Every structure is written in structure tokens, then in C-alpha cells.
Homo-oligomer: A and B are copies of this chain.
Amino acid sequence: MKAKIHVTLKQGILDPQGKAIEHALDSLGFKNAANVRVGKYMEVDVQETDKAKADAQVKQMCEKLLANTIIEEYRYELV
């Protein structure tokens, strides 16, 4: 199964990368772009046919490595 994982900063956590992009967009003339937030998107092939097992594994991967759960939140879907 393939896991599609999104890791994003929690609401309220400052996003300097997003701010930098916002300023760059402004400089390029995109005056109506605001609130840019940047996150990570990962795809992982999980060699597991049982959906419940794959789900549990991906959750563990996110908790242990892929997301810093103090400042980030994650969501994923299995396809």
C-alpha cells in the first residue's frame, strides 16, 4: 500500500519559510497572496497488504520520525 503523508505546522506556530515565500510572491507582483504555510508531503510504499496493520505502521512512522509532534501535526491516507 502507498501512504500519502502530510506534515504541517500546528496552528499558531510561526512559519518563517512561509513568510519568506509570502514576501517573495509580493515582490513578484502577487499582491493578493497571504497566509502562506509550508509543510511536507511524503509518499511511502508500505509492503503490507493488511490495511489495519499498514495504518498502525504509518502512524508509528509519523510519531517516531516523520513529524515533530510538539510543533507539527500529521495526517495520512492509504491507497
Flag whether A19 is at the interface (Cβ < 8 A): no
Judge whether A64 and B34 touch: CB under 8 Å: no
**How many copies of this protein are present in the complex?**
2
Judge whether A41 and B43 touch: CB under 8 Å: no
**Alpha-carbon distance A57/B29, docked complex (angstroms):** 10
Interface band, chain A: 20 to 34
Judge whether A41 and B44 touch: CB under 8 Å: no
Judge whether B57 and A32 touch: CB under 8 Å: yes
Residue of B nearest to A22 (CB): B44
Judge whether A39 and B36 touch: CB under 8 Å: no
Judge whether A61 and B33 touch: CB under 8 Å: yes
List chain A positions with a Cβ less than 8 A from chain B. Answer: 6, 8, 18, 21, 24-25, 28, 30, 32-48, 57, 60-61, 64-66
